[in-house]
Chain A
Amino acid sequence: MAENLALEIRNVTKRFPGVIANDNVSFNLRKGEIHALLGENGAGKSTLMNVVYGLYAPDEGEFLVNGKKVEINGPHDAINYGIGMVHQHFMLVPVFSVTENMILGSEVTKGTSLDLKRARKEILEISEAYGLEVDPDAIVEDIPVGVQQRVEILKALYRKANILVLDEPTAVLTPQEAEDLFRVMRHLTEKGVSIIFITHKLKEILNVADRVTVMRRGKVVGHTTPAETDQQGLATMMVGRDVLLEVEKAPAQPKDVVLSVENLTIKDERNVSVVKDISFDVRAGEILGIAGVQGNGQTELAEAITGLRGIDAGEITLSGERIPFEKPRWLVEHGMGHVPEDRHKHGLVLPYDLADNMVLCTYYQKPFAGAFMVRNRDAIQKNADGLMERFDVRAPSTAVAASTLSGGNQQKVIVGREFSRPLKVLVANQPTRGLDVGSIEYIHKEIVKMRDEGVGVIVVSAELDEILSLADRIAVMFRGKIVTVIDAKDATREKLGLWMAGSNPDEE
């Protein structure tokens, strides 16, 4: 039985100051299978894989590759034993070509020089053998994320990896790109590669995995297979309690228009119109979902409404007043809330502690600032403690830097800060991207609560399920235009899919 195991991890324990990230974890991977490792953010999945890949030294535990006990003291050893890892944040040098990225660390040379010609040929051979098409001469920063991921996988294969670790590979992909990836994964297992697939997306597991191991708070809490379970079962195992996958909400009770967009046109840095002559209204007490394949102008639209981007034509009014773009603070003071798409860039000041991040919009107001703008530490602390409690942010204290939190908890910090202000309009752009089901459930519940309190909500999302479960009305964007606005009651996945692809399902 041992001979069909590609990798066996026995009793690994890894401690970080203050936490046990992996507590006596065992795991095995059969040859040619896709073994999903499921768990919430911070459950210890990535830590375990970083230990396997030699990036962290474990405190206890041992590894067997193909039944033989091995020592892994660094990525170099892992690579030698045929372990390849595709990290969640890609490990590619943006200014290097695909070829240069591929050979880095395992360079082919001719005399003292790099032999780029030979490397290029080898890459094309591998890329053909595995059906992963790339242009070896392209510069990495110029190619789409999906292709960058392909480069990462090829990088591992180039080093003759037969055990492939994919750390949340779909977090950065569009649904179409994710489908491609799954096809590639199945193809790879046919060629004898064994895959460890780290994720917290339940549907994907049922879709591709052969077996599932579930982790919670550093421990393995169970094993299962897609045949024995369903989404609800997986979610319960992962979170440790019953989770609502559907959002519960009463019918919307829309009131007055709070936000109105008229004939809005936005051009990007290259002077190309990315939003073309768009008009729509949002009423208090409703959720408008904006659906569309990424890159059809949603990002720019959300940025314009929240004052992050100038507009080239048209008008945006908030409660009947035109938004003055030269005064960002006007938006804050007039009740605009924003959960930005890129939480690291626009949502948080990563090196600041949580307490300061929670008053980013209001630090100058009473009670956070007193006479002469002196900060009132007590008030800031009290605010932070209250929000941590109310929004269930899990962190050692409010004094840690925002950068040390997991994605889900970072998002809760942002949600806490924005939702606790008096809002009229809330723009939530990809509010649950990269989050686990527990956090998604929580954030969805809070968004619905805001709606019921009479806030006009815009939810921009690339996940159709999110749009379908949250929105009261759905606007679909395609190539910078809103091609339709439909009532959520009448929307189906198929219909939305057609609209998103630019065709009209009602015209047959």
Chain B
Amino acid sequence: MKNTNQLPTEVSPLQRFLKRWGWTLAMVLGVIGITIWQYQLNAQATEAVVASTIRQSTPLVLGALCGLLGERSAVINIGIEGQMLLGAFVGFLVNVWTGNLFLAVLAAVLTGAVMGLLLAYMSVTLKMDQIIGGTVINILALGLTGYFYQVGMVTQGKLQPIPLGPLANIPIIGPAIFNNPPITYATFVLVIVVHYVLFYTKWGLRTRAVGEHPRAADTLGVDVFKIRYVNVIMGGAIAGLAGAFLTLEAVGSFERAMTNGRGFVALAVMIFGKFTPLGAWGAALLFGFANAIQTQLQFADIQIPHQFIGMLPYLLTIIVLSGFVGRTRVPAADGVPYEKE
């Protein structure tokens, strides 16, 4: 009989690192390589693609941050789409009325937070089915914005890029990363902050405990309801910011249902990023890149029907989700309302 009880062979730290991050590293290096190569061929188009990648990814990563704050504390939020849309609309309205962009962004964020509060109330206090709670928010947002929006409202400008000195002149990445409007910068910061909070602070430890084993947290004196409320409300605020990005930074005006499924793609981004902010960022950039390249290819003179090119982002999603991500571990208590005895 074969000896199957062999000890695992020794692995060096480098091998372990490569095993864990190898694919990610390969993809990142590949993307950088192709980008530089493309830049040699067509500088303008390449810069456009890189900048567009960042632009497209911003609302996705914000939406994913919203989703993962909720799910890490075990509240499933499929109402991101609605929170974003309502945030976008209220931000737009305040901009129309006051012309103060700062107030407009604040209003969008507050709107998102209120919608977060509504979701938390439904799923934590009323212990409603969280999928239904999220759907309520989506339908509510679609209905409210559709009803109150009047064609012909004119905005008073949008957020402008702020170049960060000489950094903005670096080829390729300069214009894309260091010459952005404020919400995009805020997104970069938020990803890092949420990552830090979730994995290095007391609040984060409690949040993750509540998402995995709420009773354990409860028996140690952690207030499960408070943790869930605060996380879902903060998530809502971030979704509101994503809405503000759409109306106040990217487009500058409002259209009906303008979120166009971004809230749901954000959920995919969150799962793809394994419920971590940095992972979600990487995932959002990939989605953004697929979208950007698709737009460029449609301009290019290629003999492929444009519908096929339009499929690219979705195709990429399927390949990546099925092939490279591996197992995602969902927080154990995700979606289960906590019953205090």
Contacts of A92 in B (CB 8 A): 213, 216
Asked if residues A112 and B201 are in contact (CB atoms below 8 Å), the reply is: yes
Query: With an 8 A cutoff between CB atoms, is B20 at the interface?
Result: no
Question: Which of A75, A94, A106, A107 is the one whose CB lies under 8 Å from B218?
Answer: A75
Nearest Cβ on chain B to A65's Cβ, whole angstroms: 17
CA A327 – CA B218 in complex, angstroms?
Answer: 44
Query: With an 8 A cutoff between CB atoms, is B1 at the interface?
Result: yes
Beyond A92-B216, A114-B200, A114-B201, whether A104 also contacts B209 by CB under 8 A is yes
CA A204 – CA B117 in complex, angstroms?
Answer: 51
Query: With an 8 A cutoff between CB atoms, is B329 at the interface?
Result: yes
Task: Tell me the B179-230 residues at the A interface (CB within 8 Å).
Answer: 200-202, 205-206, 208-209, 212-213, 215-222
Question: Which of A105, A109, A114, A271 is the one whose CB lies under 8 Å from B220?
Answer: A105
Nearest Cβ on chain B to A351's Cβ, whole angstroms: 13
Question: Which of A74, A75, A106, A271 is the one whose CB lies under 8 Å from B4?
Answer: A271
Asked if residues B216 and A74 are in contact (CB atoms below 8 Å), the reply is: no
Query: With an 8 A cutoff between CB atoms, is A63 at the interface?
Result: no
Nearest Cβ on chain B to A48's Cβ, whole angstroms: 14
Asked if residues B205 and A75 are in contact (CB atoms below 8 Å), the reply is: no
Asked if residues A107 and B216 are in contact (CB atoms below 8 Å), the reply is: no
Nearest Cβ on chain B to A137's Cβ, whole angstroms: 15
CA A107 – CA B207 in complex, angstroms?
Answer: 13
Contacts of A112 in B (CB 8 A): 201
Query: With an 8 A cutoff between CB atoms, is A56 at the interface?
Result: yes
Asked if residues B206 and A105 are in contact (CB atoms below 8 Å), the reply is: yes
CA A276 – CA B5 in complex, angstroms?
Answer: 14
Question: Which of A75, A87, A94, A273 is the one whose CB lies under 8 Å from B221?
Answer: A75
Contacts of A176 in B (CB 8 A): none
Task: Tell me the A88-129 residues at the B interface (CB within 8 Å).
Answer: 90-96, 100-101, 103-107, 109, 112-114
Asked if residues A76 and B221 are in contact (CB atoms below 8 Å), the reply is: yes
Asked if residues B212 and A94 are in contact (CB atoms below 8 Å), the reply is: yes
Asked if residues A91 and B216 are in contact (CB atoms below 8 Å), the reply is: yes
Contacts of B216 in A (CB 8 A): 90-93, 101, 104
CA A104 – CA B219 in complex, angstroms?
Answer: 10
Contacts of A104 in B (CB 8 A): 205-206, 209, 216-217, 220, 222
Contacts of B208 in A (CB 8 A): 93, 96
CA A114 – CA B200 in complex, angstroms?
Answer: 6
Q: Which residue of B lies closest to A85 (CB)?
A: B219
Query: With an 8 A cutoff between CB atoms, is B48 at the interface?
Result: no
Summed over the interface, the residue pairs from A and B with CB atoms below 8 Å come to a total of: 74
Asked if residues B200 and A113 are in contact (CB atoms below 8 Å), the reply is: yes
Task: Tell me the B36-85 residues at the A interface (CB within 8 Å).
Answer: none
Q: Which residue of A lies closest to B221 (CB)?
A: A76
CA A155 – CA B219 in complex, angstroms?
Answer: 11
CA A217 – CA B341 in complex, angstroms?
Answer: 20
Nearest Cβ on chain A to B188's Cβ, whole angstroms: 20
Nearest Cβ on chain B to A176's Cβ, whole angstroms: 21
Q: For this complex, into which size category does the number of interface residues on chain B fall?
A: 20 to 34
Asked if residues B209 and A93 are in contact (CB atoms below 8 Å), the reply is: yes
Contacts of B1 in A (CB 8 A): 273, 276
Asked if residues B222 and A105 are in contact (CB atoms below 8 Å), the reply is: yes
Asked if residues A53 and B201 are in contact (CB atoms below 8 Å), the reply is: no
Query: With an 8 A cutoff between CB atoms, is B257 at the interface?
Result: no
Interface centre among A56, A95, A155, A271 (most CB of B within 10 A): A95
CA A53 – CA B219 in complex, angstroms?
Answer: 8
Contacts of B205 in A (CB 8 A): 100, 103-104, 107, 114
Asked if residues A91 and B221 are in contact (CB atoms below 8 Å), the reply is: no
Nearest Cβ on chain A to B175's Cβ, whole angstroms: 34
Interface centre among B206, B221, B222 (most CB of A within 10 A): B221
CA A184 – CA B172 in complex, angstroms?
Answer: 65
Asked if residues A79 and B4 are in contact (CB atoms below 8 Å), the reply is: no
CA A114 – CA B208 in complex, angstroms?
Answer: 14
Question: Which of A56, A76, A87 is the one whose CB lies under 8 Å from B341?
Answer: A56
Question: Which of A75, A113, A272 is the one whose CB lies under 8 Å from B219?
Answer: A75
Nearest Cβ on chain A to B193's Cβ, whole angstroms: 11
Given A93-B217, A105-B206, A114-B205, 15 other A-B contacts at CB below 8 A? A50-B341, A79-B220, A90-B216, A91-B220, A93-B209, A93-B212, A94-B212, A95-B329, A95-B332, A104-B205, A104-B209, A104-B220, A104-B222, A105-B220, A155-B220
What 7 A-B pairs are tightest by C-beta distance, nearest first?
A: A105-B220, A76-B221, A91-B216, A107-B202, A272-B4, A93-B213, A93-B212
Residue positions of B touching A, CB distance < 8 A: 1, 4-5, 200-202, 205-206, 208-209, 212-213, 215-222, 329, 332, 341
**Between-chain CB contacts (< 8 Å), 20 pairs:** A55-B218, A75-B220, A79-B221, A90-B216, A93-B208, A93-B212, A93-B216, A93-B217, A94-B332, A95-B332, A96-B212, A101-B216, A104-B205, A105-B206, A105-B221, A107-B202, A109-B201, A112-B201, A113-B201, A114-B205
